[in-house]
Amino acid sequence: QKEVEQNSGPLSVPEGAIASLNCTYSDRGSQSFFWYRQYSGKSPELIMFIYSNGDKEDGRFTAQLNKASQYVSLLIRDSQPSDSATYLCAVNMDYNAGNMLTFGGGTRLMVKP
Amino acid sequence: NAGVMQNPRHLVRRRGQEARLRCSPMKGHSHVYWYRQLPEEGLKFMVYLQKENIIDESGMPKERFSAEFPKEGPSILRIQQVVRGDSAAYFCASSRNDRGANTEAFFGQGTRLTVV
């Protein structure tokens, strides 16, 4: 069974702090990795994607990928109450068959003013 | 610059009825994916389609569920003889490509199906 694992949380951080969200995946051959944000009752919204080992920064968000250890993380700097949502890690585990995504269960982030 | 469009947003069906969910991908996108999210659970892949072709339906239940993406018009996910366990949010996503660059999938607003 190919899996993506996330701590369900809630992860609570104070406003202005760095929120660190982690994700591990089981398929060593996975090629592409995505972070989505989902507010309650809404659809997933793409935040970042990463394909190569290392860090990728976009504004307050940094995605980190370590294929050897099979983990991907998302850092949110200067966290705001509006960042409070569920963050979904998604992995494309079968590169040859389109971009079907295997999702983790999500980590609920709460940013307290 | 419309995103992925799904309709209806909410659908109520009685047990045994049919549900039809529609998805129009983003302009320029030819790859469509359907996902299901049960209450308080994560998203599960159901089916991947390109125009007139089902590429992978490994996540779709073998009975009662079918999907199509005709040459003209939206992709349709069809659930026959719905049961209470089919109540969920059904999300459609589309991408421009399926490998290399521009494979990011963007989601529609979803159809929330309630079976009573």
Under a CB-based contact definition with an 8 Å cutoff, are residues B92 and B4 in contact?
yes
Residue from B57, B99, B106 to probe the interface with A (highest A Cβ count within 10 Å): B99
Give the pLDDT confidence of B79-96 residue by residue, as tens digits: 999 999 999 999 999 998
Q: What does the pLDDT read at residue A97? A: 63
Tokens read off for B60: 């779709």
- Using CB atoms within 10 A of its CB, is residue B48 exposed (0-12), middle (13-18) or buried (19+)? buried
Q: What does the pLDDT read at residue B13? A: 98
Q: How confident is the model at residue B34 (pLDDT cuts 50, 70, 90)?
A: very high
> How confident is the model over B32-43, as a mean pLDDT?
91
> How confident is the model over B11-31, as a mean pLDDT?
96
Q: What does the pLDDT read at residue B37? A: 96
Compute mean pLDDT per 10 residues along chain A, 113 residues long, and list them. 88 97 93 94 94 95 96 97 97 75 95 95
Query: Across the interface, do A101 and B110 touch by the CB < 8 Å criterion?
Result: no
Question: Tokens 């504004």 belong to which residue?
Answer: A59
For residue B40, what are the contacts with CB-CB under 8 A and spacing of at least 6?
none
Tokens read off for B18: 């049919």
3 state DSSP class of B44: strand
Beta-carbon pairs below 8 A across chains A and B: 63
Could you tell me whether strands A102-103 and A45-50 are parallel, antiparallel, or unpaired per DSSP bridges? unpaired
Q: How large a percentage of chain B has pLDDT more than 70? A: 95
Per CB distance under 8 Å, which residues of B are interface residues toward A? 31, 33, 35, 41-45, 48, 55-56, 59, 91, 93, 95, 98-99, 103-110
Tell me the chain A residues in contact with residue B110 when contact means C-beta distances shorter than 8 Å. 43
How remote is the C-alpha of B106 from its chain's centroid? Answer: 12
Tell me the chain B residues in contact with residue A96 when contact means C-beta distances shorter than 8 Å. 99
3 state DSSP class of A107: strand
Q: What does the pLDDT read at residue B1? A: 52
Cα–Cα distance, A49 to A51 (Å, whole number) = 7
Q: What does the pLDDT read at residue B96? A: 86
Cα–Cα distance, A95 to A98 (Å, whole number) = 6
